[in-house]
Amino acid sequence: MKKETIYAIPSPYREDLKITGYRFGSGKKSACIVGAIRGNEMQQLYICSQLIQKLTELEEKGSIVTDHEILVIPSVEHHSMNIGKRFWSVDNTDINRMFPGYDQGETTQRIANGVFEQIKDYHYGIQFASFYLPGDFIPHVRMMETGRQSTSLANLFGLPYVVLRKTKPIDTTTLNYNWQMWNCNAFSIYSNKTDTINEESARQAVAAVLRFLMRMGIIRYNSHSGYIATIIEESNLAVVRTNAGGIYRRLKSAGEEVKMGDLLAEIIHPYEGYVISGILAPCNGIIFFSHEKPLVTENEIVYKIIKRLHE
């Protein structure tokens, strides 16, 4: 394993931002794994740390296949992580909306450019990503429909679901999209947590990446075969919104089966404590996403449900 600074940028108020990469094996650029790009992605950082530990053990055993290099970047945005902010601490911009970057632009554009120059030529790109909504997910692989995506490759992670989503204009500045534009097979892995750590889900994510690297002939590793993934379109998920604001009492979590009419959550009056509203399941299915913050506003998305068909 070789530890190196793949990009650094000076800071006027604190230590320089140094982005560290861990290289395993040598030869052609086979796989790059990126962890926390945002400052609250604690689970993503933790998963990378556990993956680095596993890859170190495999390399010591000679289990990195000859002529294959793996690069792991556990954190891009630790300056904001250190002070508890999700986005860049100076101007609140999102580095994952700055790719492929610009070396003469704003700070976050320069960071994105510096990182992307180091990772754009890898054959497989894996990002441990987080969603803009606060809550829990069923672990899954997410891919943008750019015309260059491969669901058959995404299946090889052995996670329960592969989610396809239509590309929107805002997506064109994300790491996943730009990896695909540079002819990289790009995958976003979603664990069930972001700003807290879940050991079981982290182990599942590490196993999924090792399983994929093994199936691609990059490492020698014995693993459980995992799931045969179900492929779903994000647009086909049933979206459940609130009809009032208040304190949020969640009654169902990601992964649970529900029937139409089941009570999913309640909204409580923040001063007087009575139930303002009950949130009901609009269909039979499995909860894919579940909101977890203690407060909600009116018309906020609190659940996404994988609809049961043919029932």
For the residues 10-21, what does the mean pLDDT come to? 89
Can you tell me which residue has the tokens 């962890």? 35
**Domain identity same for 134 and 167:** yes
**Domain identity same for 19 and 78:** yes
The domain in which residue 30 lies consists of 2-232
**Domain identity same for 162 and 280:** no
**Domain identity same for 82 and 138:** yes
**What's the total number of domains in the chain?**
2
**pTM value > 0.75:** yes
CATH number of the structural domain spanning residue 92: 3.40.630.10
- Under the banding of pLDDT at 50, 70 and 90, the label for residue 119 is very high
**Domain identity same for 249 and 218:** no
Q: How many CB atoms lie within 10 A of CB 197?
A: 14
**Domain identity same for 53 and 202:** yes
Choosing from 191, 214, 232, the residue where a domain stops is 232
Average pLDDT along the chain: 95
DSSP category for residue 20:
E
Choosing from 216, 232, 248, the residue where a domain stops is 232
Q: What is the pLDDT of residue 311?
A: 52
**Domain identity same for 35 and 81:** yes
- Under the banding of pLDDT at 50, 70 and 90, the label for residue 11 is confident
- Under the banding of pLDDT at 50, 70 and 90, the label for residue 149 is very high
CATH number of the structural domain spanning residue 292: 2.40.50.100
Choosing from 210, 232, 254, the residue where a domain stops is 232
Please list the alpha-helical segments (H only) found in 216-278.
none
Q: What is the pLDDT of residue 82?
A: 87
**Domain identity same for 71 and 168:** yes
For the residues 103-108, what does the mean pLDDT come to? 95
Q: How many CB atoms lie within 10 A of CB 11?
A: 13
Q: What is the pLDDT of residue 155?
A: 96
- Under the banding of pLDDT at 50, 70 and 90, the label for residue 13 is confident
**Domain identity same for 275 and 199:** no
For the residues 149-166, what does the mean pLDDT come to? 95
Cβ neighbors of 306 (< 8 A, separation 6 or more) are 161, 232, 237, 238, 285, 286, 287, 288
Could you tell me what percent of the chain has a pLDDT over 90? 88
Residue 310 has pLDDT above 80, yes or no: no
**Domain identity same for 49 and 34:** yes
Residue 91 has pLDDT above 70, yes or no: yes
**Domain identity same for 50 and 138:** yes
For the residues 154-183, what does the mean pLDDT come to? 95
**Domain identity same for 125 and 273:** no
